[in-house]
């Protein structure tokens, strides 16, 4: 997998949340990751929300695919509701 992102957004994520997009990209390698279309707004491009674990912590990564490259748009630690959803969906795997 190839990743890209806006360096300023990645730096802001690190300043605000303690991790950058390079770290968040590791969520894509969770074999139990969940992906759903992000249809909350009309972005002018298809966006997706991925929930995946990194070192036993669940993260939410919003991304799009451009020319076959995954472009990370935002990332954050999952909230309680998202953790419960992930656990319910992956429990039977």
DSSP result, 54-80: ETTEEEEEEEEEETTEEEEEEEEE--H
Domain ranges for the chain: 3-90
70 SS3 class: strand
pTM of the model: 0.89
pLDDT digits (tens, 9 = 90+) for 13-45: 999 999 999 999 999 999 999 999 987 777 778
Residue 69: its pLDDT value, please?
96
Judge whether residue 90 has pLDDT over 80. Answer: no
pLDDT digits (tens, 9 = 90+) for 40-88: 777 778 899 999 999 999 999 999 998 999 999 999 999 999 999 999 9
């Amino acid at each position: 997998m190839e990743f890209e992102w806006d360096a300023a957004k990645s730096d802001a994520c690190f300043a605000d949340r303690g991790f950058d997009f390079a770290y968040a990209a590791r969520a894509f390698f969770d074999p139990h990751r969940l992906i759903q279309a992000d249809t909350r707004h009309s972005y002018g491009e298809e966006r997706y929300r991925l929930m995946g674990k990194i070192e036993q912590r669940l993260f939410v990564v919003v991304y799009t695919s451009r020319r076959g490259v995954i472009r990370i748009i935002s990332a954050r630690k999952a909230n309680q509701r998202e953790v419960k959803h992930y656990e319910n969906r992956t429990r039977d795997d």
